Structure 1
């Protein structure tokens, strides 16, 4: 999440000039994209996994 602080922008995916038409994921091909909801995943020793989804509220 360090890249999306105050401006709330995802940087574009590097070297992605022609994305697949039927891609099942939301990609950022050429210019930054503004976001209000972000995931955060943490993986620890022994199989400990934590997932959080955070949304900006006004």
Structure 2
């Protein structure tokens, strides 16, 4: 079985979040192991939790430098 990790650092719901969410659900239905890392308490994090996806949280990334 293949493992898939989605890492999402967005704090609002947008196109990438929608794609990650829909793709994660579809891959799970097809038998993949799917793990999601998202910023805690964002719309994406909450929606993934509500859908029963394996989601954990990360801290918000504020600066690379």
More helix by share: 2
More strand by share: 1
Computing the radius of gyration from Cα coordinates, the structure with the larger value is: 1
Q: Which has the higher contact order (CA 8 A, sep 6+)?
A: 2
Query: Which TM-score applies when normalising by structure 1?
Result: 0.23
